[in-house]
């Protein structure tokens, strides 16, 4: 599958997919090939149906993982069999809505202070203070830190650029880290200075540090991102501002943090705890406005009408003028 694999990778790259998406799709097609027992070019609608049924009911995969396999097969059919409609009947599975876990601000500060070394402390600080994804954080370069404007230049999901917050405490931590480690290109390099630290290594450090200080929540880099957004919301920050800082394409994605904020729920009072409202007195009917002029049905005529009628009657009493005038 090496030649076919290279062509499929090139196809996905030309479509604009990220490295992580390409890696997931290639891995999914490799799993399908192992299940099928032959090259994936022999895929049919029946074999695709049986494979997805095996993943769903046999391996009990979650809907999010199932969608990766569905999308990878769709893209492979678009690449190798563009005229066929093999994956037409299979659509994206609905994913259940969940409450993202968060940790408190004090737990976050304890996590930063308990970091095993200055590099781990800098990574955790950047993740929380800027609300970055772990891939965004580890792919930062030294030139992405703008200390004059106090922002971080981030290349987010879908190759979308944005600016994230750079707090003064984070900047001081990064300066201490730079003096000690002297990175060349990537801000957080791995074993090779020309490559960033792996996400697996960074996630392991965060998980181990949280477990060592007794945090019950399963802390990941994304939990720090959720905590960043939730804490901003509790302090009264606008959802639109949080959306821009997180790099969400839709506001509905950011709105899920309104269901997480415990402080917002505490500020809402139950109607049972509210004292009953004082009874209101009935409103008094307004007195009718006094109308001017004579009342309806009265025989007394107004003064103007009386004068007008008198003038008409006097005019009728005058004798008619003779023709030719007075002699």
Judge whether 157 counts as a catalytic residue: yes
Q: How far apart are the first and last CA of the chain?
A: 139
Q: Which of 71, 177, 186, 257 is catalytic?
A: 257
Q: Which of 5, 141, 222, 244 is catalytic?
A: 222
Q: Which of 119, 225, 226, 231 is catalytic?
A: 225
For the stretch 204-213, contacts whose Cβ atoms lie closer than 8 Å and that sit 24 or more positions apart, written own/partner, are 205/115, 205/116, 205/120, 205/123, 206/111, 206/120, 206/123, 206/124, 206/127, 209/111, 209/114, 209/115, 209/116, 209/120, 209/124, 210/111, 212/114, 213/110, 213/111, 213/114
Q: Which of 74, 133, 226, 231 is catalytic?
A: 133
173 neighbors 122 (Cβ within 8 angstroms):
yes
Q: Which of 30, 141, 157, 162 is catalytic?
A: 157
Judge whether 225 counts as a catalytic residue: yes
Judge whether 296 counts as a catalytic residue: no
Judge whether 326 counts as a catalytic residue: no
Residue 219, SS3 per DSSP: coil
Task: Enumerate residues 6+ apart whose C-beta is below 8 A from 53.
Answer: none
191 neighbors 197 (Cβ within 8 angstroms):
no
Judge whether 175 counts as a catalytic residue: no
- The number of beta carbons lying within 10 Å of the beta carbon of residue 312 is 9
- Catalytically active residues are 133, 157, 222, 225, 248, 257
């Amino acid at each position: 599958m090496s030649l076919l694999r290279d062509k499929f990778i090139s196809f996905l790259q030309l479509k604009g997919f990220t490295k992580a998406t390409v890696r997931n799709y290639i891995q999914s097609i490799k799993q399908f090939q192992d299940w099928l027992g032959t090259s994936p070019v022999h895929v049919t609608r029946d074999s695709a149906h049986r494979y997805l049924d095996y993943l769903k009911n046999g391996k009990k995969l979650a809907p999010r993982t199932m969608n990766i396999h569905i999308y990878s097969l769709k893209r492979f059919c678009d690449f190798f069999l563009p005229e066929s409609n093999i994956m037409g009947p299979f659509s994206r599975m609905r994913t259940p809505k969940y409450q993202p876990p968060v940790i408190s601000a004090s737990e976050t500060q304890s996590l930063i202070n308990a970091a095993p070394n200055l590099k781990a402390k800098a990574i955790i600080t950047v993740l929380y203070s800027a609300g970055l994804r772990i891939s965004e954080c580890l792919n930062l370069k030294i030139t992405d830190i703008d200390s004059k404007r106090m922002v971080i230049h981030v290349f987010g999901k879908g190759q979308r650029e944005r600016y994230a917050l750079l707090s003064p405490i984070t900047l001081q931590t990064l300066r201490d880290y730079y003096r000690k480690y002297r990175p060349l290109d990537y801000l957080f390099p791995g074993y090779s200075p020309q490559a960033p630290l792996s996400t697996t290594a960074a996630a392991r450090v965060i998980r181990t540090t949280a477990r060592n200080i007794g945090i019950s929540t399963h802390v990941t880099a994304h939990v720090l991102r959720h905590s960043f957004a939730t804490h901003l919301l509790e302090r009264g920050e606008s959802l639109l501002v949080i959306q821009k800082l997180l790099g969400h394409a839709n506001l509905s994605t950011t709105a899920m943090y309104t269901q997480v904020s415990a402080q917002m729920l505490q500020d809402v009072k139950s109607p049972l705890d509210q004292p009953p409202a004082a009874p209101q007195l009935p409103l008094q009917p307004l007195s009718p406005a006094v109308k001017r002029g004579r009342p309806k049905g009265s025989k007394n005529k107004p003064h103007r009408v009386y004068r007008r009628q008198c003038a008409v009657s006097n005019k009728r009493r005058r004798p008619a003028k003779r023709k030719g005038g007075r002699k």
